[in-house]
Amino acid sequence: MDVQQLQSTAQALVVEGKGILAADESTGTIKKRLDSIGVESTEETRRAYRELLFTTEGAEEFISGVILYDETIRQSASDGTPFPKLLASKGVIPGIKVDTGAKPLALTDGETITEGLDGLRDRLEEYRELGARFAKWRATYSIAHDKPSEYCVWTNAHALARYAALCQEAGLVPIVEPEVLQDGTHTIAESRKATGRVLQAVYTELHDQRLDFRGTLLKPNMVLSGYDASDRASADEVADVTLECLYKHVPAAVPGIVFLSGGQSDEDATAHLNAMNARGPHPWQLSFSYGRALQAPALKAWGGKEESVEAAQRAYYHRAKMNSAARTGMYAPEMERQAVTA
Protein backbone atom coordinates (compact mmCIF):
# COMPACT_ATOMS: atom_id res chain seq x y z
CA MET A 1 0.00 0.00 0.00
CA ASP A 2 1.38 3.39 -1.06
CA VAL A 3 0.34 5.56 1.86
CA GLN A 4 1.41 8.82 0.24
CA GLN A 5 -0.54 8.05 -2.93
CA LEU A 6 -3.68 7.28 -0.93
CA GLN A 7 -3.35 10.51 1.01
CA SER A 8 -2.74 12.64 -2.09
CA THR A 9 -5.76 11.08 -3.87
CA ALA A 10 -7.98 11.72 -0.84
CA GLN A 11 -6.81 15.33 -0.71
CA ALA A 12 -7.36 15.78 -4.45
CA LEU A 13 -10.96 14.60 -4.09
CA VAL A 14 -11.70 17.34 -1.56
CA VAL A 15 -9.58 20.09 -3.11
CA GLU A 16 -11.00 23.55 -2.50
CA GLY A 17 -14.06 24.44 -4.56
CA LYS A 18 -14.72 20.94 -5.86
CA GLY A 19 -16.85 17.93 -4.94
CA ILE A 20 -17.85 14.47 -6.16
CA LEU A 21 -20.61 13.43 -8.58
CA ALA A 22 -22.27 10.20 -7.45
CA ALA A 23 -23.24 8.50 -10.74
CA ASP A 24 -23.25 5.02 -9.21
CA GLU A 25 -26.97 4.27 -9.28
CA SER A 26 -27.62 0.55 -9.55
CA THR A 27 -29.43 -0.74 -12.63
CA GLY A 28 -32.67 -0.79 -10.62
CA THR A 29 -32.26 2.77 -9.32
CA ILE A 30 -31.30 4.30 -12.68
CA LYS A 31 -34.36 2.56 -14.17
CA LYS A 32 -36.56 4.49 -11.71
CA ARG A 33 -34.83 7.73 -12.71
CA LEU A 34 -35.32 7.07 -16.42
CA ASP A 35 -38.90 5.89 -15.89
CA SER A 36 -39.62 9.29 -14.31
CA ILE A 37 -38.84 11.01 -17.64
CA GLY A 38 -40.47 8.35 -19.83
CA VAL A 39 -37.22 6.84 -21.13
CA GLU A 40 -36.72 3.07 -21.35
CA SER A 41 -33.76 1.89 -19.30
CA THR A 42 -31.41 0.03 -21.65
CA GLU A 43 -27.64 -0.31 -21.58
CA GLU A 44 -27.48 2.31 -24.34
CA THR A 45 -29.79 4.88 -22.71
CA ARG A 46 -27.89 4.52 -19.44
CA ARG A 47 -24.60 4.97 -21.29
CA ALA A 48 -25.88 8.01 -23.21
CA TYR A 49 -27.13 9.66 -20.03
CA ARG A 50 -23.83 9.14 -18.21
CA GLU A 51 -21.92 10.42 -21.26
CA LEU A 52 -24.02 13.59 -21.19
CA LEU A 53 -22.85 14.24 -17.62
CA PHE A 54 -19.22 13.25 -18.11
CA THR A 55 -18.72 15.37 -21.23
CA THR A 56 -20.25 18.56 -19.83
CA GLU A 57 -17.73 21.24 -20.74
CA GLY A 58 -16.26 23.03 -17.74
CA ALA A 59 -17.82 20.79 -15.09
CA GLU A 60 -14.32 19.72 -14.09
CA GLU A 61 -13.91 23.19 -12.56
CA PHE A 62 -16.30 22.05 -9.83
CA ILE A 63 -16.13 18.22 -9.91
CA SER A 64 -13.05 16.41 -8.57
CA GLY A 65 -14.26 12.82 -8.92
CA VAL A 66 -17.10 10.63 -10.17
CA ILE A 67 -18.38 7.45 -8.52
CA LEU A 68 -19.22 4.87 -11.19
CA TYR A 69 -21.30 1.68 -11.14
CA ASP A 70 -19.91 -1.69 -12.33
CA GLU A 71 -21.68 -1.38 -15.69
CA THR A 72 -20.59 2.24 -16.19
CA ILE A 73 -16.89 1.75 -15.47
CA ARG A 74 -16.83 -0.77 -18.36
CA GLN A 75 -18.65 1.53 -20.80
CA SER A 76 -17.22 4.04 -23.29
CA ALA A 77 -18.20 7.38 -24.76
CA SER A 78 -19.63 7.43 -28.30
CA ASP A 79 -16.12 8.05 -29.69
CA GLY A 80 -14.87 4.82 -28.08
CA THR A 81 -13.02 6.38 -25.11
CA PRO A 82 -13.58 4.33 -21.93
CA PHE A 83 -15.37 6.43 -19.33
CA PRO A 84 -12.54 6.21 -16.74
CA LYS A 85 -10.06 7.43 -19.34
CA LEU A 86 -12.42 10.21 -20.46
CA LEU A 87 -12.81 11.45 -16.89
CA ALA A 88 -9.09 11.22 -16.14
CA SER A 89 -8.31 13.25 -19.29
CA LYS A 90 -10.33 16.10 -17.74
CA GLY A 91 -8.52 15.82 -14.42
CA VAL A 92 -11.52 14.08 -12.81
CA ILE A 93 -10.72 11.05 -10.63
CA PRO A 94 -12.75 7.88 -11.44
CA GLY A 95 -14.20 5.92 -8.52
CA ILE A 96 -16.38 2.84 -8.10
CA LYS A 97 -19.26 1.66 -5.89
CA VAL A 98 -18.29 -1.78 -4.60
CA ASP A 99 -21.00 -2.86 -2.16
CA THR A 100 -23.76 -5.12 -3.47
CA GLY A 101 -26.57 -3.44 -1.58
CA ALA A 102 -28.35 -3.43 1.76
CA LYS A 103 -30.04 -6.72 2.65
CA PRO A 104 -32.21 -7.69 5.65
CA LEU A 105 -30.12 -8.10 8.82
CA ALA A 106 -30.93 -11.47 10.33
CA LEU A 107 -32.97 -11.53 13.54
CA THR A 108 -33.92 -7.85 13.42
CA ASP A 109 -37.16 -6.00 12.73
CA GLY A 110 -36.50 -4.42 9.35
CA GLU A 111 -32.87 -3.37 9.78
CA THR A 112 -30.24 -3.92 7.10
CA ILE A 113 -26.64 -5.05 6.60
CA THR A 114 -24.69 -4.12 3.50
CA GLU A 115 -23.19 -7.06 1.60
CA GLY A 116 -20.34 -7.41 -0.88
CA LEU A 117 -17.27 -8.47 1.10
CA ASP A 118 -17.02 -11.91 -0.53
CA GLY A 119 -14.55 -11.69 -3.42
CA LEU A 120 -13.99 -7.98 -2.82
CA ARG A 121 -10.19 -8.17 -2.88
CA ASP A 122 -10.22 -9.53 -6.45
CA ARG A 123 -12.87 -7.06 -7.59
CA LEU A 124 -10.87 -4.13 -6.23
CA GLU A 125 -7.82 -5.31 -8.16
CA GLU A 126 -9.88 -5.41 -11.37
CA TYR A 127 -11.43 -2.00 -10.75
CA ARG A 128 -8.01 -0.49 -10.22
CA GLU A 129 -6.90 -1.92 -13.57
CA LEU A 130 -10.02 -0.37 -15.15
CA GLY A 131 -8.93 3.03 -13.83
CA ALA A 132 -10.63 3.48 -10.45
CA ARG A 133 -8.66 5.35 -7.78
CA PHE A 134 -11.24 5.38 -5.00
CA ALA A 135 -14.26 3.32 -3.93
CA LYS A 136 -17.50 3.68 -2.00
CA TRP A 137 -19.52 1.46 0.35
CA ARG A 138 -22.88 2.51 1.83
CA ALA A 139 -24.51 1.25 5.00
CA THR A 140 -28.02 2.37 6.01
CA TYR A 141 -29.71 2.87 9.39
CA SER A 142 -33.30 3.79 10.23
CA ILE A 143 -34.44 6.02 13.07
CA ALA A 144 -37.31 4.75 15.25
CA HIS A 145 -37.94 4.29 18.97
CA ASP A 146 -35.69 1.18 19.03
CA LYS A 147 -33.59 1.86 15.92
CA PRO A 148 -30.85 1.80 15.01
CA SER A 149 -30.11 -1.14 17.30
CA GLU A 150 -26.62 -1.67 18.71
CA TYR A 151 -26.49 -4.86 16.64
CA CYS A 152 -27.16 -2.98 13.39
CA VAL A 153 -24.77 -0.14 14.29
CA TRP A 154 -21.81 -2.39 15.06
CA THR A 155 -22.23 -5.06 12.39
CA ASN A 156 -22.35 -2.38 9.70
CA ALA A 157 -19.40 -0.54 11.24
CA HIS A 158 -17.38 -3.77 11.15
CA ALA A 159 -18.27 -4.38 7.48
CA LEU A 160 -17.44 -0.76 6.53
CA ALA A 161 -14.03 -1.10 8.15
CA ARG A 162 -13.31 -4.44 6.47
CA TYR A 163 -14.19 -2.89 3.12
CA ALA A 164 -12.02 0.15 3.83
CA ALA A 165 -9.01 -1.96 4.82
CA LEU A 166 -9.26 -3.98 1.61
CA CYS A 167 -9.44 -0.74 -0.39
CA GLN A 168 -6.30 0.69 1.15
CA GLU A 169 -4.52 -2.62 0.60
CA ALA A 170 -5.47 -2.36 -3.10
CA GLY A 171 -4.35 1.26 -3.38
CA LEU A 172 -7.87 2.74 -3.52
CA VAL A 173 -9.12 5.50 -1.24
CA PRO A 174 -12.21 4.22 0.62
CA ILE A 175 -15.19 6.52 0.95
CA VAL A 176 -16.99 5.31 4.05
CA GLU A 177 -20.73 6.02 3.80
CA PRO A 178 -22.80 5.37 6.93
CA GLU A 179 -26.20 6.86 6.05
CA VAL A 180 -28.68 7.43 8.83
CA LEU A 181 -31.87 7.67 6.79
CA GLN A 182 -33.90 10.82 7.37
CA ASP A 183 -37.29 9.33 6.45
CA GLY A 184 -39.82 9.65 9.24
CA THR A 185 -41.13 12.14 11.79
CA HIS A 186 -38.08 12.21 14.10
CA THR A 187 -36.71 15.44 15.58
CA ILE A 188 -33.28 16.83 14.77
CA ALA A 189 -32.20 15.80 18.30
CA GLU A 190 -33.12 12.18 17.58
CA SER A 191 -31.22 12.37 14.29
CA ARG A 192 -28.19 13.79 16.12
CA LYS A 193 -28.22 10.95 18.65
CA ALA A 194 -28.47 8.21 16.00
CA THR A 195 -25.81 9.80 13.77
CA GLY A 196 -23.42 10.16 16.69
CA ARG A 197 -23.82 6.53 17.71
CA VAL A 198 -23.17 5.39 14.15
CA LEU A 199 -20.07 7.56 13.66
CA GLN A 200 -18.62 6.52 17.03
CA ALA A 201 -18.89 2.84 16.04
CA VAL A 202 -17.50 3.43 12.53
CA TYR A 203 -14.36 5.20 13.76
CA THR A 204 -13.81 2.65 16.53
CA GLU A 205 -13.84 -0.13 13.91
CA LEU A 206 -11.72 1.82 11.39
CA HIS A 207 -9.11 2.37 14.11
CA ASP A 208 -9.19 -1.25 15.26
CA GLN A 209 -8.79 -2.47 11.67
CA ARG A 210 -5.65 -0.35 11.17
CA LEU A 211 -6.93 2.19 8.67
CA ASP A 212 -4.83 5.22 7.83
CA PHE A 213 -7.48 7.93 8.36
CA ARG A 214 -5.51 10.35 6.14
CA GLY A 215 -6.21 8.08 3.18
CA THR A 216 -9.98 7.88 3.72
CA LEU A 217 -13.04 10.11 3.25
CA LEU A 218 -16.33 10.12 5.16
CA LYS A 219 -19.68 10.37 3.33
CA PRO A 220 -22.29 10.93 6.05
CA ASN A 221 -25.85 12.19 6.16
CA MET A 222 -26.48 15.72 7.37
CA VAL A 223 -28.29 15.84 10.70
CA LEU A 224 -31.85 16.81 9.76
CA SER A 225 -35.38 16.68 11.10
CA GLY A 226 -37.30 13.75 9.64
CA TYR A 227 -38.70 14.54 6.20
CA ASP A 228 -42.23 14.05 7.57
CA ALA A 229 -41.63 15.98 10.82
CA SER A 230 -44.17 18.70 11.59
CA ASP A 231 -41.46 21.10 12.76
CA ARG A 232 -38.43 21.13 10.44
CA ALA A 233 -35.09 22.54 11.58
CA SER A 234 -33.74 25.62 9.77
CA ALA A 235 -30.55 25.62 7.68
CA ASP A 236 -28.69 27.33 10.56
CA GLU A 237 -29.83 24.71 13.06
CA VAL A 238 -28.93 21.88 10.66
CA ALA A 239 -25.45 23.38 10.26
CA ASP A 240 -24.90 23.85 14.00
CA VAL A 241 -26.13 20.39 15.04
CA THR A 242 -24.34 18.56 12.20
CA LEU A 243 -21.04 20.31 12.97
CA GLU A 244 -21.36 19.59 16.70
CA CYS A 245 -21.83 15.91 15.88
CA LEU A 246 -18.87 15.80 13.48
CA TYR A 247 -16.53 17.62 15.87
CA LYS A 248 -17.34 15.08 18.56
CA HIS A 249 -16.89 11.93 16.46
CA VAL A 250 -14.73 12.47 13.34
CA PRO A 251 -10.92 12.54 13.76
CA ALA A 252 -9.16 15.63 12.46
CA ALA A 253 -6.83 13.35 10.45
CA VAL A 254 -9.68 12.64 7.99
CA PRO A 255 -8.99 14.96 5.02
CA GLY A 256 -12.59 15.55 4.03
CA ILE A 257 -16.27 14.97 4.67
CA VAL A 258 -18.30 14.62 1.45
CA PHE A 259 -21.96 14.81 2.40
CA LEU A 260 -24.66 12.77 0.71
CA SER A 261 -27.79 14.66 -0.28
CA GLY A 262 -30.29 11.95 0.67
CA GLY A 263 -33.83 13.01 -0.08
CA GLN A 264 -33.14 16.76 0.19
CA SER A 265 -34.16 19.11 -2.59
CA ASP A 266 -31.34 20.36 -4.83
CA GLU A 267 -31.31 23.80 -3.25
CA ASP A 268 -31.66 22.58 0.36
CA ALA A 269 -28.62 20.33 -0.05
CA THR A 270 -26.63 23.30 -1.34
CA ALA A 271 -27.89 25.71 1.34
CA HIS A 272 -27.08 23.31 4.20
CA LEU A 273 -23.55 22.71 2.91
CA ASN A 274 -23.08 26.46 2.52
CA ALA A 275 -24.22 27.16 6.08
CA MET A 276 -21.65 24.70 7.44
CA ASN A 277 -18.79 26.15 5.40
CA ALA A 278 -19.78 29.69 6.38
CA ARG A 279 -18.94 28.62 9.96
CA GLY A 280 -15.43 27.47 8.99
CA PRO A 281 -12.59 26.85 8.80
CA HIS A 282 -12.93 23.27 10.04
CA PRO A 283 -10.38 20.48 10.64
CA TRP A 284 -11.62 18.71 7.49
CA GLN A 285 -12.74 19.96 4.09
CA LEU A 286 -16.56 19.98 3.98
CA SER A 287 -17.61 18.96 0.48
CA PHE A 288 -20.35 17.14 -1.41
CA SER A 289 -20.84 13.75 -3.01
CA TYR A 290 -24.30 14.27 -4.45
CA GLY A 291 -26.29 12.09 -6.83
CA ARG A 292 -29.84 13.27 -7.26
CA ALA A 293 -29.10 16.82 -5.99
CA LEU A 294 -26.61 17.29 -8.85
CA GLN A 295 -28.43 15.30 -11.53
CA ALA A 296 -32.20 15.85 -11.13
CA PRO A 297 -32.46 19.10 -13.15
CA ALA A 298 -30.25 17.66 -15.90
CA LEU A 299 -32.27 14.45 -16.13
CA LYS A 300 -35.50 16.43 -16.43
CA ALA A 301 -34.04 18.79 -19.05
CA TRP A 302 -32.70 15.89 -21.13
CA GLY A 303 -35.86 13.77 -21.32
CA GLY A 304 -34.01 11.26 -23.50
CA LYS A 305 -33.84 13.67 -26.46
CA GLU A 306 -30.64 14.21 -28.41
CA GLU A 307 -31.59 17.84 -29.08
CA SER A 308 -31.87 18.45 -25.32
CA VAL A 309 -28.36 17.32 -24.39
CA GLU A 310 -26.99 20.87 -24.25
CA ALA A 311 -29.84 22.08 -22.03
CA ALA A 312 -29.26 19.12 -19.71
CA GLN A 313 -25.54 19.86 -19.55
CA ARG A 314 -26.26 23.50 -18.68
CA ALA A 315 -28.51 22.33 -15.83
CA TYR A 316 -25.84 19.97 -14.49
CA TYR A 317 -23.12 22.62 -14.83
CA HIS A 318 -25.27 25.09 -12.89
CA ARG A 319 -25.86 22.72 -9.95
CA ALA A 320 -22.16 21.82 -9.83
CA LYS A 321 -21.31 25.54 -9.81
CA MET A 322 -23.80 26.28 -7.01
CA ASN A 323 -22.35 23.52 -4.84
CA SER A 324 -18.84 24.75 -5.55
CA ALA A 325 -19.95 28.14 -4.19
CA ALA A 326 -21.36 26.38 -1.11
CA ARG A 327 -17.93 24.90 -0.47
CA THR A 328 -16.64 28.40 0.25
CA GLY A 329 -19.71 29.59 2.16
CA MET A 330 -20.41 32.08 -0.65
CA TYR A 331 -23.65 30.56 -2.00
CA ALA A 332 -26.84 32.64 -1.87
CA PRO A 333 -30.35 31.70 -3.11
CA GLU A 334 -30.27 34.77 -5.37
CA MET A 335 -27.62 32.97 -7.45
CA GLU A 336 -30.31 30.47 -8.51
CA ARG A 337 -32.61 33.19 -9.78
CA GLN A 338 -29.80 35.05 -11.50
CA ALA A 339 -28.99 31.89 -13.44
CA VAL A 340 -32.61 31.51 -14.55
CA THR A 341 -32.85 35.08 -15.82
CA ALA A 342 -29.36 35.19 -17.34
Average pLDDT over residues 21-32: 96
CATH of domain 3-341: 3.20.20.70
What distance in Å separates the CA atoms of residue 274 and residue 316, rounded to the nearest whole number? 18
Average pLDDT over residues 122-136: 98
Report pLDDT for 18: 98
Cβ partners under 8 Å of residue 342, min gap 6: none
Q: Model confidence over 238-276: pLDDT tens digits?
A: 999 999 999 999 999 999 999 999 989 999 999 999 999
Domain boundaries, the chain: 3-341
Q: Model confidence over 293-336: pLDDT tens digits?
A: 999 999 999 999 999 999 999 999 999 999 999 999 999 889 99
Active-site positions read 177, 219
Q: Model confidence over 50-78: pLDDT tens digits?
A: 999 999 999 999 999 999 999 999 999 99
pLDDT reading at 97 higher than 80: yes
Q: Which residues of 179-207 are buried (b: 16+ CB within 10 A; e: fewer)?
A: bbbbebebbbebbbbbbbbbbebbbebbe
Instruction: From residue 295, give the alpha-carbon distance in Å to each of 55, 153, 209.
Output: 14, 30, 35
Q: Model confidence over 190-221: pLDDT tens digits?
A: 999 999 999 999 999 999 999 999 999 999 99
Report pLDDT for 339: 59
- Please report which confidence band the pLDDT of residue 341 belongs to, taking 50, 70 and 90 as the band edges: very low
Q: Where are the beta strands (DSSP E) in the chain?
A: 19-22, 63-68, 93-97, 102-104, 112-114, 134-141, 173-180, 217-218, 256-259, 285-290
